[in-house]
Chain A
Amino acid sequence: MSNGKTGFLTSGQKRKIRNNMIGYAFILPNLIGYAIFVFIPVVFSFVLSVMSWDGSKRPMQFVGLANFADIFGDKIFRGTLLHTITYAVMTVVPTLILALLLAVLLNNKLKGVAIFRTAFYFPYIASIVAVGAVWNMLFQPDFGPINEFLKFIGIADPPRWVVDKDWAMVAISIVSVWKYMGYYMIVYLAALQGISGSLYEAASLDGANGWQKLWHITIPMLTPTTFFVMIMLTIQCFKVFDLVYVMTGGGPGNATKTLVNYIYEKAFTSWEFGPASAGAIVLFAIVLVITLIQFSGEKKWFKDL
């Protein structure tokens, strides 16, 4: 191929073509798959959101923003937005605080740190289906261990958790916090290792105690990590589906139905691809806004650091 038989191209041009071919050969296996299975669907989801289609042989029809008008006129959809936001707030804040606390505790030189770390991290890798099943039983309102315990410590009328529309989302958030805090604890631990020991030594010389060091050194130094964790967690919460699906199925009523549950049901049980995609675009818009906040925040931290 490059032994100069063609004669039309200079050797420099031939080398360039060869380099191009080699480069493409390396990226093509991934590029083809990515273009077909990710990029095209992403573009197509915008197209679908302004179309009316049920997936049958009938051609799709352009309906403009009717799908968006439809879903925002739908009380159930507006409810899912509210539930998702509630879930996000109830999950993000406690997860952040507990992850930070656990990380600070584990950052001490102790024997058996690895064992504790494993215990805290373990819920994260356990599957949602198994975890959802066991927590549903723990939350069982009449004889479940959680309510037995609450009665034991003197709460005569404990919440009915997953069967009560006011408490179901709280229950789901509790499970989420339990499941996710170990993961973010490790993120925090990694960040803690990065804080220079000399800061603490200087503070000790100035007579600072443990709390003061935590409050005036550790927490401020961790601000970029906290910001990052908060963004990741919030995005994760807006994508919630499995846990709701296995714990309450969106019920009781529609009390725990989230945005993705809505998209899923619209698409795969009633085959209304248009409204489902409109819902998906709303999810995209939310995640995009959060990501933009992340970018501007990252710029800020990097200027500061």
Chain B
Amino acid sequence: MNAKKKAIKIILYVLLISLSLAMLVPFYWMVISSLKMNKDVFSIPMKWWPETMHPENYRVIWNKLPLVTFFKNTAKLTVITTAVQLCTSCFAAYGFTKCKFVGRDLIFLMYVTTIAVPWQVYMVPQFILVSGMGLNDTHIGLILMQAFSAFGVFLMRQFYISIPDELCEAARIDGLNEFGIFRKIVFPLGKPAMATLVIFTFTNVWNDFMGPLIYLKTKELKTVQLGIRMFISQYGADYAWIMAASVCSLIPIVIVFLSCQRFFVEGVAASGIKG
């Protein structure tokens, strides 16, 4: 029995290790190719470990590509969008759960009816509207179109519902006003849901491709994703450079992911098992 258990465990480990290595092969290939010469990327037989490293590829792309500008743009868009999304969602969720006012259910119904509508369905009229405001090819336009989602309100509302009303009632009796209750009690309690929302919005905005593709035309305003894409179409055959650029575009998200992994995983679990 014990030997059998041990054997199963070994099989499991072998299986898991080989599967996870297989999952990571594309990333490994990306990194080693970025250190080869352009002409050696597809050399046959394939070299899993290049004999000579060419880290200067990174210096080359650094000079060819305004990466710092792209990173700054992406960081700006990501931080502002996430902050606006988080603040307005928490406020609204508090209003929908802890305040009573005329038309509350009707307004919430508006959110409910549109939550399932994919962005791709209304991206065209949205673009027309944002352009009409003169915000095409600006960061503000891109932020405004992404910062207000029904998802954020739903997520926070779901969490705030579980906070007992008696807690707010007690605070009210103690003389706190509504904003005080929100700031001192409900908002701090909502941290787990906020972490989920932050991670969700952060990865979405950071990795967003189609939004910037539609909205941003000026090179100086472009995001990392768009900039790397531009570089790839421009230097189609310079494989090592393309891989070096791709590695650069992944570094920030890797750092964020590895340092906040727990939240990523919990976030998926929280938004995944719904209903």
Chain A residues at the B interface, C-beta cutoff of 8 Å: 19-20, 22-27, 29-31, 33-42, 44-45, 47-48, 55, 102, 105-106, 108, 110, 114-123, 125-131, 133-135, 137-138, 140, 142-145, 148, 178, 182-183, 186-187, 189-191, 194, 210, 224-225, 228, 235, 238-239, 241-242, 245-246, 260, 263-264, 267-268, 273, 276-277, 280-281, 283-284, 287-288, 291, 298, 302
User: A34-B111, A129-B209 in contact; A228/B275 too (CB < 8 A)?
Assistant: yes
Q: Residues of B contacting A281 with CB < 8 Å?
A: 121
B182 A26 Cβ-Cβ under 8 A: yes
Which residue of A106, A137, A148, A238 is within 8 Å of B16 (Cβ)?
A106
Q: How far is the CA of A264 from the CA of B33 in the complex (A)?
A: 33
Query: Within the complex, what minimum Cβ distance (angstroms) separates B94 from chain A?
Result: 5
Query: Within the complex, what minimum Cβ distance (angstroms) separates A248 from chain B?
Result: 13
Q: How far is the CA of A45 from the CA of B124 in the complex (A)?
A: 7
Query: Within the complex, what minimum Cβ distance (angstroms) separates A241 from chain B?
Result: 6
B99 A148 Cβ-Cβ under 8 A: no
B229 A273 Cβ-Cβ under 8 A: no
Q: Residues of B contacting A30 with CB < 8 Å?
A: 88-89, 91-92, 148, 152-153
A55 B249 Cβ-Cβ under 8 A: no
Stretch from B23-31, B56-64, B162-170, B190-198 forming part of the interface with A: B23-31
A130 B99 Cβ-Cβ under 8 A: no
Q: How far is the CA of A29 from the CA of B150 in the complex (A)?
A: 13
Q: Residues of B contacting A187 with CB < 8 Å?
A: 268-269, 272-273
User: Is B216 interfacial (CB-CB < 8 Å)?
Assistant: no
Point out which of B88, B104, B182 has the most chain A C-beta atoms below 10 A from its C-beta: B88
Query: Within the complex, what minimum Cβ distance (angstroms) separates A163 from chain B?
Result: 14
Number of interface residues of B (CB under 8 A): 96
A186 B272 Cβ-Cβ under 8 A: yes
User: A122-B24, A187-B269 in contact; A45/B99 too (CB < 8 A)?
Assistant: no
B228 A130 Cβ-Cβ under 8 A: yes
B46 A148 Cβ-Cβ under 8 A: yes
Q: Residues of A contacting B250 with CB < 8 Å?
A: 126-127, 130
Q: Residues of A contacting B269 with CB < 8 Å?
A: 186-187, 189-190
Q: How far is the CA of A204 from the CA of B242 in the complex (A)?
A: 54
User: A42-B114, A121-B265, A130-B250 in contact; A105/B102 too (CB < 8 A)?
Assistant: no
Q: Mark B206-221, 1 if CB is under 8 A from A, else 0.
A: 1101100110000000
Q: How far is the CA of A27 from the CA of B114 in the complex (A)?
A: 17
Q: How far is the CA of A120 from the CA of B145 in the complex (A)?
A: 32
Point out which of A22, A55, A129, A277 has the most chain B C-beta atoms below 10 A from its C-beta: A129
Query: Within the complex, what minimum Cβ distance (angstroms) separates A243 from chain B?
Result: 9
